[in-house]
């Protein structure tokens, strides 16, 4: 006797880009990149229940779009189209990963939804089939389907899983504003460096941190340049970098750091309203 699963809850991790190199513009309008991405221990929570027909989506954050522009909705539709299943689902998203933050929340939600639906409906799509499906939804979706740190190439959809040399303790810092990825990439070619801000690669423990998008983003969002510079001056911090296209800047922390002390200092000296989250690479 087989018991059909009707509901499940899954966690969708955020990510940081430990390095992001832009190699040039492609003929399809995207940019050719090479990036080392690591999943981190900050999660959105997704509840999925089977139902007879529709895809019903809701989120506890009213600023998250709920229609076809939402990547979870697009992932669910793509799954049902690919598998020709006539059923439906109710999906409830509890948001912890801020959006427009360079942390991949939407892409992770989509990838996690694809994996969960594959399990819930016992469709046995291979990882390769899920990756092919994911790459039609968004550039980072393929990465999250591997559940591992990875070097990603092309526009991000060519994924080579890798292991980080060691687990990194991370502090995420994000101001209230968002940065559009499309805008950041479109400005990359013509952007200039701000004097006095370090854009050079940072090296420690055989790890190289670098983000080519800092140049275009910092030029308009000067606060992010100031945030990175401030973090680099703190005794608790080994390295600091913007993740993806921002607006999150993360610090790699030294061992046995009092994170509360550091976050309180950041709020006092930089921005009273700054959002922070202490986590680690997974």
Three-state SS annotation for the chain: CCCCCCEEEEEEEEEEEEEEEEEEECCCCCEEEEEEEEEEEEEEEEEEEEECCCEEEEECCCCCCCCCCCHHHHHHHHHHHHHCCCCEEEEEEECCCCCCCCCCHHHHHHHHHHHHHHHHCCCCCCHHHHHHHHHCCCCCHHHHCCCCCEEEEECCCEEEECCCCCCCEEEEEECCCCCCHHHHHHHCCCCCCCCCCCCCCEEECCEEEEECCHHHHHHHCHHHHHHHHHHHHCCCEEEEEECCCCCCEEEEECCCCCHHHHHHHHHHHCCCCCEEEEEEEC
Residue 17 is part of a domain; what is its CATH number?
Answer: 3.30.230.10
Residue 9 pLDDT exceeds 50: yes
Residue 175 is part of a domain; what is its CATH number?
Answer: 3.30.70.890
The pLDDT score that the predictor gives to residue 30 is 79
Residue 246 pLDDT exceeds 70: yes
Cα–Cα distance measured from residue 213 to residue 191, given in angstroms and rounded to the nearest whole number:
9
The pLDDT score that the predictor gives to residue 206 is 85
Domain assignment present for 2: no
144 and 174 part of one domain:
no
Tell me which residue range forms the domain holding 144: 7-161
Domain assignment present for 260: yes
Q: What's the mean per-residue pLDDT of the chain?
A: 93
- Looking at 144, 161, 178, the residue that finishes a domain is 161
112 and 83 part of one domain:
yes
203 and 137 part of one domain:
no
As for how many domains the chain has, the answer is 2
pTM: 0.94
38 and 105 part of one domain:
yes
144 and 177 part of one domain:
no
Catalytic residues: 15, 140
Question: Stretch 130-140: mean pLDDT, rounded?
Answer: 92
Is residue 16 a contact partner of residue 250, using CB atoms and an 8 Å limit? yes
Handedness of CA 218, 223, 229, 235 (dihedral sign): negative
Domain assignment present for 1: no
């Amino acid at each position: 006797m087989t018991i059909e699963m009707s509901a499940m809850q899954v966690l969708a991790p955020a990510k940081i880009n430990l390095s992001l190199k832009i190699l040039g513009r492609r003929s399809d309008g995207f940019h050719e990149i090479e990036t080392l991405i690591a999943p981190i221990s900050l999660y959105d929570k997704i509840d999925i229940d089977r139902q007879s027909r529709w895809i019903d989506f809701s989120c506890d954050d009213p600023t998250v779009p709920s229609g076809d522009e939402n990547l979870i909705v697009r992932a669910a539709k793509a799954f049902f189209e690919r598998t020709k299943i006539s059923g439906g689902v109710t999906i409830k998203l509890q948001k912890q990963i801020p959006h427009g933050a360079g942390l991949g929340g939407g892409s992770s939600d989509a990838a996690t939804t694809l994996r969960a639906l594959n399990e819930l409906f016992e469709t046995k799509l291979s990882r390769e089939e899920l990756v092919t499906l994911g790459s039609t939804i968004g550039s980072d979706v393929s990465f999250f389907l591997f559940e591992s740190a990875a070097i990603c190439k092309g526009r991000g959809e060519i994924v080579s899983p890798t292991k980080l040399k060691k687990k990194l303790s991370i502090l995420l810092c994000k101001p209230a504003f968002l940065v559009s990825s499309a805008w950041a990439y479109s400005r990359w070619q013509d952007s200039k460096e701000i004097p006095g801000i370090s854009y050079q690669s940072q090296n420690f423990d055989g790890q190289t941190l670098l983000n080519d998008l800092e140049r275009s983003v910092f030029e308009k969002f000067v606060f992010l340049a100031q945030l990175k510079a401030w973090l680099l001056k703190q005794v608790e911090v080994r390295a600091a970098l913007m993740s993806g296209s921002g607006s999150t800047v993360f610090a790699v922390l030294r061992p046995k750091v009092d994170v509360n002390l550091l976050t309180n200092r950041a709020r006092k000296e930089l921005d009273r309203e700054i959002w922070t989250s202490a986590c680690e690479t997974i």
